[in-house]
């Protein structure tokens, strides 16, 4: 197997970088090492087909690979006149009415066309690797990192500095122009330094105004709904919700419902026509439903009221052949209204509340809807969804023999 020490990947001729596949073999390539300037010989290994350059009558140049990568990368950008930029985060810190408002605006990487690409042109006292203009007319300065990062003073002195990092390229392996092109334009790590493109972007100023609006809104809402908002935030915590349910089990309405349910369970006869209690009690009552705390009683109480006070009679026979969501919801609210503080929050625009609290007011109607749909499950089968909706109300068929 032919083995070759990786040498200079690209040669220089008349100011242009060339791959060994683009030139004649041997000294006829007329290329020089971009590092030391020595003549190069273009070669090709017969078995592997590997193309490479070797120094002619000169020792291998220690900096030849780095110089070749650096110069070819700049040429690739000039030839293709486009580049994928890097993500950039703008940190906002604005004093406003005695408070420091902070946020971060994230700008995604995007492919940009480059105009008027020039190499090694002086800008004030600095000489960036590449200078160009974007479609917006704003300048961009591109630095190619092979062995040395851009100096801090240079990064601060130039505006819109993008560094392309090629330092991870394995010097022991050959690299062709196509692979390097993909790395330079798209794949290699890259980062912005000083960047007024985004620091002064309209989205930044827009976010600042949004922060101020949110702050003003929060102050207005807190002044009027401080207690309600505090309660809403606390009820988003699962442990607090569970503590709330446990406290409701000490409520007299819960104890009354428990006694009544015990009597119903004993009185209902398990005949074919009234087989409601062929289903275990725990499968239809005290069913966890998202936001089931919205009503002023334990969920077992309002669910029992819905089963025996609206869907079925106390003896387990059905009241109606068809029910709908609206009347079912109204039935629960009539006996167990929502918390007063929750009703107050309905007066707030949902978008405004979301800005301030990060959460929405739970929809009690949806809580009842989810419970009714739970009763349509195959293992419960008390109800059957008709698949029809009259305006806002889901329709359900009440089954005579739920288990059959």
Band the pLDDT of 163: cuts 50, 70, 90.
Answer: very high
pLDDT at 270 over 90: no
- pLDDT at residue 23, rounded to an integer: 93
Note the pLDDT of residue 305.
93
In the chain, what percentage of residues exceed pLDDT 90?
A: 49
**Given this model, what pLDDT does residue 105 score?**
94
Nearest to 167 by CA among 90, 66, 239, 54: 66
Is the model's pLDDT at 355 over the cut of 90?
no
Q: What average pLDDT score do residues 4-23 get? A: 85
45 has a pLDDT exceeding 60? yes
The pLDDT of residue 272:
40
Is the model's pLDDT at 60 over the cut of 80? no
Residue 315 main-chain phi, psi, to 5 deg: -90, 5
Q: What average pLDDT does this structure show over 254-272?
A: 72
Spell out the alpha helix ranges (H) of 31-97: 64-80
Per-residue pLDDT averaged across 264-285, rounded? Answer: 63
Q: 33 vs 9, 28, 56, 60, 150, CA distance in Å? A: 10, 14, 10, 10, 24
Least reliable range by pLDDT among 253-262, 343-352, 378-387: 343-352
pLDDT at 2 over 50: no
pLDDT of residue 133: 95
Give me 379's structure tokens: 């293992």
Q: Is the pLDDT of residue 380 over 50?
A: yes
pTM recorded for the entire structure:
0.58
């Amino acid at each position: 197997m032919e083995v070759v020490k990786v040498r200079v990947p690209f040669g220089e001729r008349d100011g242009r970088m060339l791959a060994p596949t683009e030139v004649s073999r041997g000294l006829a390539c007329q290329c020089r090492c971009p590092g030391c300037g020595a003549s190069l010989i273009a070669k090709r290994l017969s078995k592997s087909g590997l193309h490479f350059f070797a120094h002619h009558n000169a020792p291998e140049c220690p900096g030849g690979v780095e110089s070749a990568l650096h110069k070819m990368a700049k040429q690739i950008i000039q030839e293709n006149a486009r580049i994928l930029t890097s993500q950039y985060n703008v940190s906002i810190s604005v004093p406003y009415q005695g408070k420091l408002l902070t946020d971060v605006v994230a700008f995604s990487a995007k492919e940009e066309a480059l105009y008027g690409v020039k190499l090694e042109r002086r800008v004030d006292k600095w000489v960036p690797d590449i200078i160009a203009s974007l479609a917006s007319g704003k300048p961009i300065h591109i630095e190619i990192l092979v062995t040395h990062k851009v100096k801090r003073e240079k990064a601060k002195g130039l505006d819109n500095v993008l560094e392309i990092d090629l330092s991870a390229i394995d010097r022991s392996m050959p690299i062709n122009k196509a692979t390097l092109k993909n790395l330079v334009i798209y794949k290699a790590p890259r980062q912005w330094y000083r960047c007024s493109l985004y620091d002064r972007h309209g989205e930044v100023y827009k976010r600042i105004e949004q922060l101020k609006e949110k702050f003003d809104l929060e102050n207005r809402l807190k002044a009027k709904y401080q207690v309600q908002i505090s309660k809403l935030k606390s009820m988003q915590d699962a442990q607090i919700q569970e503590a709330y349910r446990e406290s409701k089990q000490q409520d007299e309405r819960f104890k009354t419902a428990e006694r009544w349910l015990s009597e119903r369970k004993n009185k209902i006869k398990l005949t074919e026509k009234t087989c409601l209690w062929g289903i275990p009690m725990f499968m239809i009552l005290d069913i966890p439903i998202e936001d089931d705390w919205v009503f002023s009683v334990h969920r077992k109480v309002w669910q029992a009221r819905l089963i025996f006070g609206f869907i079925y009679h106390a003896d387990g026979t059905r009241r109606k052949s068809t029910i709908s969501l609206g009347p079912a919801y109204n039935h629960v609210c009539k006996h167990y209204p929502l918390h007063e503080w929750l009703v107050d929050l309905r007066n707030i625009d949902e978008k405004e509340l979301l800005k301030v609290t990060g959460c929405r007011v739970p929809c009690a109607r949806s809580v009842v809807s989810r419970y009714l749909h739970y009763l349509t499950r195959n293992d419960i089968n008390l109800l059957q969804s008709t698949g029809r909706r009259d305006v806002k109300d889901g329709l359900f068929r009440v089954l005579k023999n739920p288990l059959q």
